[in-house]
Amino acid sequence: MKNVPLLKLLVLFLLIFYLGIGCKKKEAPVLETMPVINVLGTTAISGGKIIDDGDETIISRGVCWSKELKPSVSNDKTLDGAGAGTFVSNMSDLDPASTYYVRAYATNANGIGYGMTMSFATLGQIPVVGTITTSHITTTSVNLVSRINPNYLSTSVFFEYGPTINYGNSLAANQSPITGYIDVTVSGTLSGLSPGTNYHCRVKAENSLGITYGSDKTFLTSEANPVTDVDGNVYSVVEIGTQIWIAENLKTTRYNDNSGIPLITSNTDWAALTTPGYCWYNNDETANKPLYGALYNWYTVNTGKLCPIGWHVPTNDDFTILTEFLGGTAIAGGKMKEAGLAHWTTPNTGATNESGFTALPAGIRNDLGVFTGINLNTHWWSATQYNIYKPYYRSIGHNNSVAFVGYGSLNQHGFTIRCVKD
C-alpha cells in the first residue's frame, strides 16, 4: 500500500492535464499581411498568410483598406475564400494619388484576426501632353487634335490660341474632362478666326496635381480669296507641317497661261500619246470631276504650267517632307486617306485623315488607255523624274496605310495631281 500516494498523484496529474485542455482559451486567427505590390492608379495587390487558425476553421479571409490608419472589415475589403494558407487579394476602385492603409484579416468561430497594417500610395501625376495636329484649315476655322495622358486623374483639357504667343483665347476640348492611364485623343474646332492670319496654339491639361502645357504650334488660315484655277474651280487648302497643300485633286482643263489641255477619250489615242493630255475617269465628267478631279499624263505635268499661279506640282522632295511629317511612308497613307467607306473599298486600312489631306480613291488610266482602280487606290504625279523615262509618283491603297513611293516608265499613265504652295 506504499504506492497509493504515488497513484493518487498520477490521477491528480492526469485530471489537471485534461482539465487544462478543456479550458484552453479560444483564439481568433493569427496572420501576416503580405507586402503591397503592382500599385497603379486605381488598383493594387496584397494578401495574407495564416499563421495560426486558432484551432478553428477559417471561415473567411481577405484584406481591408482605408485612408484611415487602422482599416477593418467595416471598410472596403476583399473576400478571398476560406481555409488556412496564403492568399492573394486584388484591391480595386482606389483613388489615384492617394495614401492607403491595408491589413489582412481572417475570421473563425472565435472572431476576427488582423495582420500588421501596411501603407501604400496609388499612382497619379500631372498630365502628359502631345503635340497638336492641325487640319481642315479654312479662312475662319481649323480642326485641332492632340493626345493626352491624364495619369489616372480627372483632367481638364483646353486649346489655347491667338494671333500672338500670348494666346489670349481658350477652347475646351470636345472630350474634356478625361481620365484613365492611357493616351486619350482630344479634339476641338476653333472658329471665328481671321482670314490669312498666322495663329499660335497649344494644349493645356490640368488635374489636381498640376498643369502641363504643350509646345507652341502655328498655323495660317486661308486667304479670304480662295485658291482658284483658270477654269474657275475653287479649292480648299490644308496646312500640314511646314507645307500648304490644295486639299483636292486638280480639275483644270487649261494651263495657268490659259492655253488648253487636249481631252483624250479614245483608249487607242491615249496609249499612243507622246504629248500632253487629260481625261475624266471612265470619260464621265459629270460623275467623277467633282470628287476625283482629272487624270493627266506625264507630258502634261512636265509643262510646269498645271497648277494655279503661286502653286506647283509637288516634287519628290515635297512629298517626302509631307510623309516624314506624318510619321513615315509606312503609316502616312492612313493619315492622308479619307476615313470611312463612303468612297474607299473596305477595309480602308488605317484611314484617319488626321492630316486633312483627304485622299480619295480616284483610280488611274493605264498606258493602254484602260481605266482601273477607282475606289481601290489613287496615284499622284510628282514633278521629279528618276530619269528621263521614269517619273516619280506617290500612291495609296485601300488595304494598307502605306504612302508608296515609286517610279517607272509611266509617261502615258493618267494620274491625279495635288498642288503645293510655292
Structural domains in the chain, sorted by start: 30-121 (2.60.40.10), 128-220 (2.60.40.10), 232-421 (no CATH)
Backbone angles phi, psi at 282, to 5 degrees: 60, 20
What is the pLDDT at residue 12?
A: 59
Q: Judge if the upstream peptide bond of residue 391 is cis by omega within 30 degrees of 0.
A: no
Backbone angles phi, psi at 225, to 5 degrees: -90, 110
Closest by CA to 250, choosing from 392, 383, 153, is 383
Q: Which three cell numbers stand for residue 366?
A: 493605264
Tell me the β-bridge partners of 372. 364
pLDDT truncated to tens, each residue of the chain (422 aa)? 444 565 566 655 655 555 444 445 679 999 999 999 999 888 999 999 999 999 999 999 999 999 999 999 999 999 999 999 999 999 999 989 899 999 999 999 999 999 999 999 999 989 999 888 887 777 889 999 999 999 999 999 999 999 988 999 999 999 999 998 899 999 999 999 998 888 999 999 999 999 999 998 888 887 766 789 999 999 888 878 889 899 899 999 999 999 999 999 999 999 999 999 999 999 999 999 999 999 999 999 999 999 999 999 999 999 999 999 999 999 999 999 998 899 999 999 999 888 878 999 999 999 999 999 999 999 999 999 998 889 999 999 999 999 999 998 888 999 999 999 99
Tell me the β-bridge partners of 212. 205
What is the pLDDT at residue 23?
A: 47
Which distant-in-sequence residues (6+ apart) come within 8 Å of 5 by Cβ?
A: none
Q: How far apart are CA 127 and CA 71, in angstroms?
A: 31
Residue 403's identity, in one-letter code, is: A
What is the pLDDT at residue 327?
A: 94
Q: How far apart are CA 248 and CA 229, in angstroms?
A: 12
Q: Which three cell numbers stand for residue 254?
A: 487649261
Q: Which single residue is written with the C-alpha cell 476560406?
A: 82
Is residue 378 within 8 A of residue 395, CB to CB? The reply is yes
Count other C-beta atoms under 10 Å from residue 180's C-beta.
16
Q: How far apart are CA 293 and CA 349, in angstroms?
A: 23
Q: Which three cell numbers stand for residue 194?
A: 481671321
Alpha helices in 241-328 (DSSP H): 267-272, 285-292, 298-301, 316-325
Is residue 262 within 8 A of residue 295, CB to CB? The reply is no
Tell me the β-bridge partners of 172. 158
